Chain A
Amino acid sequence: MLNILVLGLGQCGNRILDAMNREAFGRGGTFAKYYTRQKFPASVKTIAINTAINDLKGLVDTRAKDRLHVPHLHGVGANRTIGKRVFEENKEIIMSEIDKRGTFDLIFIMTSAAGGSGSSFAPLLVRELKETYKNAPIICITVLPFREEGSIFLQNAAFCLKDIIDEKPAGVLLVDNQYLKKYAGDIKSAYDKINNTTARRLLFLIEALNSEMLMVTDLGDLKTVMNGGIGIGTMGFYEASKDSTIKSAILGSFKPSGLLFPTNVYKEGARAMLIIKGDKKYLDLDLITKTIEELSTEVGQVFKGVLIQRGRPRVLSLFTLNSVPELEKLYAIAAEAIRFEKENRDKSKSQLDSAFSHIEDLEPIY
């Protein structure tokens, strides 16, 4: 059984983690935690880490002992510089808490790239974890902000993602709030659905990695996929309708509507992993194999895993990309926002200096 560590950093990471914990209760709903235990498909240890205690208190399905408050007032105020300093001051506490949960074969770090605690902790934590758990691949689930959230969040996202890539984790899977806003009309519902979707896909992946499969894919394959391209990827998902074929289900998981980050998989995909679950009657292995072979010519190496499970076919696709045009857009916006912010600041400073100049040679007279 795989030992997997899932860390949720900052408010966003905490909530995705909480959604994972809720999903692990099965279909019990709100009260499931009162009468049942979480059932992860592997040996999963979760820790929600945050400097804002109110964010930790807001979690519902994460056990108290799995919530780690890094003491710094009530958050770092989206200031990554402070966040990094707080991490350095408390990394023993954080690592000690992680260490209590044993050794791991795979580590997921979930964080928003735009916030304060998560975006500043994630790169540093990758570094620390790589040193401590040398054999465990670290995959960062990085959530990108709405573009209109503000210049601080945009520049945080830009620098956070760069810092993470610089620390060379096993891979980065992007989740773009801006792209997924389509899930719901209001922001809160959108957040909830994004969190739940991300959580379900991760659990889907974990279950597949830890199960006996008809066609096998495993942690080694995952590492290979994540090494593909620029090490940045995303996940897609498709649940077949009644009359769908397995092929249409597989291709459906490549469609932009099922992706967590906007990309043209066929054009930008480097490597992929497909995990197919469903009733045996739907799983035509020949058709699956043939379909994947066809995809490999376009997407590159495609690893596949087939898991017999009740229900209609569900397909999770995980890609790494050779290029990420959407990121370029993001960075362009972020750079523009930074420049705009800088100009405004300079202008304000200039105005203030000008105002002060009126009394430069004067002294108060009483």
Chain B
Amino acid sequence: MNGRRILIVVAAVALLILVLPMTAAGEEVTTNVTIGVNEYVALNNDIYIEVLDVGIDMGGSAQVHFYSYQDSVGTEKTLYMGDVPTEYTSGSGMTIEVTLDSVFSNGASFVIESSKKLYVTERHAGEVETEAVTVPKLTIMRTIDPNEAEIGQTVKVTLTIKNTGNGTAIDIELTEGTIAKTYKDGCPSTIDDIAAGATERIEYDLKLGGDAQPGTREMPPSVLNYRGEFGDSYSTQSQSSILEIIAETVLLPELTISIDPIDYVVTCGDKVPMVVTITNVGNATSEKVYVKGDLPPGVRLKGGELEPVYESIKPDKSEEYEVTLVANEEGKHVVEMKVMWADEEVTAVFEFRAEKSGLEKYYVYIIAAIPILLILLWIIKRRREYSY
């Protein structure tokens, strides 16, 4: 008796367990349905959805025929991936919203929503292929190393091509940008197929021709034209690149001569220091450097060697020397100093104005005053001599 009771309870529990999930399933409002081309499904024995065709344009599309028992004619609509849901209401008043989820070569998958629980009550024809449509998508990035180069140098150009799509890119053609008077070495015009997710790296040399124009030059973008496995064509391009072309370095010495300025006005007879600095601002050592000085009338050399000779001056090195001049005459004096090397020469001038000394200005007065002073002193002396 007890065994029978236990069996009944277990059976009841098992039945309850089976019944509860069925009740929950009947409240679903969204379902996924995959339908092959020229096939259909019936939902809740009311609405029929028939896939008439699929396409891969615009990221994938499907031509669908909606109809029902009380709407036998129905409506045909083209659904696009990513588009807003397409609404259809049957003759009995059941409404569904359909969104194209994915497109395959012979069918499409949809997401169907409704306020009612949906059941696929009929399905025509059988299996639907689940293989997706493949689309290649290439990106290309270009680097130039170094991006500064002298004329005559060669830089390396690297193209990094990545297929971020899901299909293989085939028939890839590369159209590389060009900078005038530069020459590519090893730059391909076609590139092997690139499978989805694969990355292709291409390097070639870009030689800057001798007649290339120095300055900042823009290299136009690299352009890739390619097709997918289904023959669909695509195109992409890189950013443009900047290449700084530097004029070719010539190894030559170049000397400058400078003279430290002084207070412009000096006094006649005073020592005037003149500091001469010769600097090699070129990129090669200068051999045999001669300095010549031209003293104007009224100026004489008081000390130092005015015209030294240097055996060599290395690049970025300087030679400095000091001479002492004395101006005997008043007025503006210009000393011209010339440095000569190879067949080149540069000149610097040293200007100053010499004036008579403060005392000298008054020489006439002093000379005139001396006898007066002497007379005055004499008078004072005599006055003291006769003062008591």
Contacts and interface: CB of A to CB of B under 8 A. Distances in A.
B388 A64 contact: yes
Contacts of B384: 64
Contacts of A60: 386
Nearest to A37: B382
Interface string B368-387: 00000000001100111111
A34 B388 contact: no
Interface in A31-67: 33-35, 53, 56-57, 59-65, 67
Contact of A64 (B378, B379, B387): B387
B386 A61 contact: yes
Contacts of B385: 63-65
A34 B384 CA distance: 10
A33 B388 contact: no
Contacts of B382: 33-34
Contacts of A64: 384-388
Interface string B342-378: 0000000000000000000000000000000000001
Contacts of B378: 34-35
B388 A57 contact: yes
A364 B378 CA distance: 71
A56 B386 CA distance: 11
Interface residues of A, number: 14
A67 B388 contact: yes
A60 B385 CA distance: 10
B388 A59 contact: yes
Nearest to A58: B388
Interface of B: prevailing SS: helix
B387 A34 contact: no
Contacts of B386: 33, 60-64
Nearest to B387: A64
Contacts of A67: 388
Interface of A: prevailing SS: helix
Interface in A58-91: 59-65, 67
A150 B296 CA distance: 91
A67 to B, nearest CB: 5
B378 to A, nearest CB: 7
Contacts of A53: 388
B379 A56 contact: no
A65 B382 CA distance: 12
Q: Which of B378, B383, B387, B388 has the largest count of A CB atoms less than 10 A from its CB? A: B388
A63 B379 CA distance: 13
Q: Which of A59, A60, A63, A67 has the largest count of B CB atoms less than 10 A from its CB? A: A63
Contacts of A56: 388
Contacts of A33: 382, 386
Contacts of B388: 53, 56-57, 59, 64, 67
Nearest to B382: A34
Q: Which of B384, B385, B386, B387 has the largest count of A CB atoms less than 10 A from its CB? A: B386
A56 B387 CA distance: 9
B181 to A, nearest CB: 101
Contacts of B383: 34
A64 B388 CA distance: 5
A61 B382 CA distance: 10
Contacts of A34: 378-379, 382-383
A25 to B, nearest CB: 11
Nearest to B385: A63
A38 to B, nearest CB: 11
Nearest to A54: B388
A36 to B, nearest CB: 10
Nearest to B379: A34
B288 to A, nearest CB: 74
A63 B384 CA distance: 9
A35 B378 CA distance: 8
B385 to A, nearest CB: 5
B382 to A, nearest CB: 5
Interface string B98-131: 0000000000000000000000000000000000
A34 B379 CA distance: 5
B40 to A, nearest CB: 153
Contacts of A63: 385-386
B76 to A, nearest CB: 147
A57 B386 CA distance: 9
B218 to A, nearest CB: 101
A53 B388 CA distance: 9
A206 B111 CA distance: 165
A61 B385 CA distance: 10
Contacts of A59: 388
A59 B385 CA distance: 12
Nearest to A60: B386
Interface in A202-224: none
B386 to A, nearest CB: 6
A35 B386 CA distance: 13
Interface string A9-42: 0000000000000000000000001110000000
A34 B387 CA distance: 12
Contacts of A57: 388
A65 B379 CA distance: 17
A34 B385 CA distance: 10
Nearest to A21: B386
A175 B378 CA distance: 38
A10 to B, nearest CB: 16
Interface string A308-323: 0000000000000000
Nearest to B383: A34
A15 to B, nearest CB: 14
Interface in B136-164: none
A53 B379 CA distance: 24
A365 to B, nearest CB: 58
A135 to B, nearest CB: 32
Contacts of A65: 385
A56 B388 CA distance: 7
Q: Which of A33, A34, A56 has the largest count of B CB atoms less than 10 A from its CB? A: A34
Given A35-B378, A56-B388, A64-B387, 17 more contacts: A33-B382, A34-B378, A34-B379, A34-B382, A34-B383, A53-B388, A57-B388, A59-B388, A60-B386, A61-B386, A62-B386, A63-B385, A64-B384, A64-B385, A64-B388, A65-B385, A67-B388
23 contacts: A33-B382, A33-B386, A34-B378, A34-B379, A34-B382, A34-B383, A35-B378, A53-B388, A56-B388, A57-B388, A59-B388, A60-B386, A61-B386, A62-B386, A63-B385, A63-B386, A64-B384, A64-B385, A64-B386, A64-B387, A64-B388, A65-B385, A67-B388
**6 closest Cβ pairs, A-B complex:** A64-B388, A34-B379, A67-B388, A34-B382, A57-B388, A56-B388
Interface of B: 378-379, 382-388
